[in-house]
């Protein structure tokens, strides 16, 4: 699984790509482990940019649930942004849209994180709201 990481001020943005299924969920979990440790240690926000994720299975959703639980315990914010339509439907059917903070775009998710994160994102040349 391809996965990129960026930092915008206090917020870590993790962008996995492709399918998150029973084959790749463990990779996502492993990749998230140090990032979650960092975010929870400093109580900083973490956003999962799902714009390049085209499928997620129950095993992948479990990884998100664990991440959300860890972040909540540390009083840190976890957001998920930019779901493709199929993934958005899977979130809705599984009711994950009720337990995770889901934003329509990465910019909206960063606006929820902090003003500094949004400013850093915009100054990095990212387009305004799409």
Closest approach, Cβ 113 to other proteins, in A, equals 23
Q: Is residue 98 near other proteins by the rule CB under 8 A? A: yes
Q: Is residue 58 near other proteins by the rule CB under 8 A? A: yes
Residues binding other proteins: number (CB under 8 A): 19
Q: Is residue 6 near other proteins by the rule CB under 8 A? A: no
Q: Is residue 72 near other proteins by the rule CB under 8 A? A: no
The residues near 53 (Cβ < 8 Å, ≥ 6 apart) are: 16, 17, 18, 19, 20, 83, 84, 87
Note whether 52 and 83 are within 8 A (CB): no
Site residues for other proteins, 13-32, by CB under 8 A, read: 22
Left if phi > 0, otherwise alpha if psi is -120 to 50, otherwise beta: which for 18? left
Q: Which residues bind to other proteins, rule: CB under 8 A?
A: 22, 55, 57-59, 61-62, 65, 69, 86, 89-90, 92-96, 98-99
């Amino acid at each position: 699984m391809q996965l990129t990481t960026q930092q915008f001020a206090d917020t870590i943005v993790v962008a996995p790509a492709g399918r998150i299924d029973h084959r790749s969920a463990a990779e996502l979990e492993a990749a998230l482990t140090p990032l979650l440790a960092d975010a929870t240690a400093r109580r900083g926000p973490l956003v999962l940019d799902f714009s390049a994720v085209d499928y997620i299975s129950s095993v992948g959703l479990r990884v998100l649930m664990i991440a959300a639980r860890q972040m909540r315990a540390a009083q840190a914010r976890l957001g998920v942004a930019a779901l493709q339509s199929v993934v958005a439907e899977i979130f809705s059917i599984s009711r994950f849209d009720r337990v995770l903070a889901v934003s329509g775009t990465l910019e909206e998710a960063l606006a929820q994180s902090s003003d500094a994160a949004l400013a850093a994102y915009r100054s990095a040349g990212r387009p305004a709201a799409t």
